[in-house]
Amino acid sequence: MPTWMTHFSDGASGTSQNLTGTPTISSGNSEVQNFNIIIRDSENQSHNRDFSLTVANYPTTTGAAVDTSVSGWRIYKYQLSDPTTASTFTFTTYATIPSLEYLVIAGGGGGAGAYGGGGGAGGMRYGSISNLGVATYTIGVGEGGTAGPAGYNSADGGNGGNSYISGGSITTITSTGGGGGANANGNASGNNGGSGGGGMDTNGGHGDGINDGGTFGTATYQGHDGGDGSGGQDYGSGGGGGAQSAGEDGVNTSPASSSPAGDGGGGRIYAITGSDVTYAGGGGGGMYTPGSGGQDYGGTGGSGIGGNGGGVSGGYDGKQGHDHTGSGGGGATYYGGYNQVGGRGGSGIVIVRFAV
């Protein structure tokens, strides 16, 4: 038997024998122990059998926070220390894991400046991998999309970065970054993405496939459309799409009696970390209002994690989406000039867990 293994003998009572001990690994992160057990009865009749026992450490990683506080689970959480710069990490297994559960969320799109659309949430994929083999896997986490600059007819909010898991024999699992909110450049439509960015004068961007039917969280179905924008005095831009629902359309009210800007789409709840957490809310849209008077508030960010549109919580710049949730940034609200900027999208996150 391996040197660390012992057994308890109770003579010839015929009850089962217990093999016990704490495995040790003399070199590397895994080894195979080959041993033989002989069973002999009181008449000296015997039977022997060869056994092979593989001893392996838990998977090792670069960059993850490892959580062992949830009974029955070992959880690896990958997130960015710098939300504006994408990064990669590793996850190395030394023995086959029967089932690995994952949540892969891309970075949220940035909201647009001036009176732009809200950013769409990063795409979301959730599922499990059976019999994850011995290999080193690469984990990529997407950054939040850049905030749209000030100025009418300037750039849209930036798209969020993709997040992914790849390596070994698995097919790469990729979630698409959220679409940036629209400014008046181009056709003023929100950008496509995991969830689409909100439109300014016209249509919101499309989320990845959710309107075509299918199962949410798969390779194609990751998020919802951004809301459409309206045109004219006192009009609102669309909210960014979220994982749970589409961004709200902006409306044209002149004079504005209530906020015409679209709210961001709702986020989606998962308990992969052991408790319910909401991820991937869309950013609220911005709005145009005269230099004095009128309603000065943009749309509300989805589920409280998408960035609010300008004017909701102080100032007229769009607000940032929450980092490590893949939520979209809010669009700016025009107020007496075009110097308002959008909110940056929130960075993504990748979480994996397996039973222990």
pLDDT digits (tens, 9 = 90+) for 282-309: 999 998 875 544 455 789 999 999 999 9
- Answering whether pTM is above 0.85, one says yes
**pLDDT at position 55, please?**
85
**pLDDT at position 265, please?**
97
**pLDDT at position 294, please?**
47
Dist CA 25 CA 5 (whole Å): 13
Check pLDDT > 90 for residue 2.
Answer: no
Burial class (CB in 10 A: 0-12, 13-18, 19+), 267: buried
Check pLDDT > 50 for residue 178.
Answer: yes
Check pLDDT > 60 for residue 256.
Answer: no
CA-based nearest residue to 40, from 52, 32, 31, 49: 49
Find the mean pLDDT for residues 15-19: 69
Dist CA 213 CA 248 (whole Å): 20
Tens of pLDDT, residues 126-144? 999 999 999 999 999 999 9
Q: Give kind and range of the element (H or E) at residue 108.
A: none
Share of the chain above pLDDT 90, in %: 63
Tens of pLDDT, residues 89-114? 999 999 899 999 999 999 999 999 98
Q: What angle is formed at CA 299 by the lines to CA 293 and CA 303, rounded to 5 degrees?
A: 150
Find the mean pLDDT for residues 80-97: 94
CA distances in angstroms from 40 to 13, 80, 124, 340, listed in the order given: 13, 60, 59, 85
Mean pLDDT score of the chain: 88
For the chain, what's the residue count?
356
Check pLDDT > 90 for residue 124.
Answer: yes
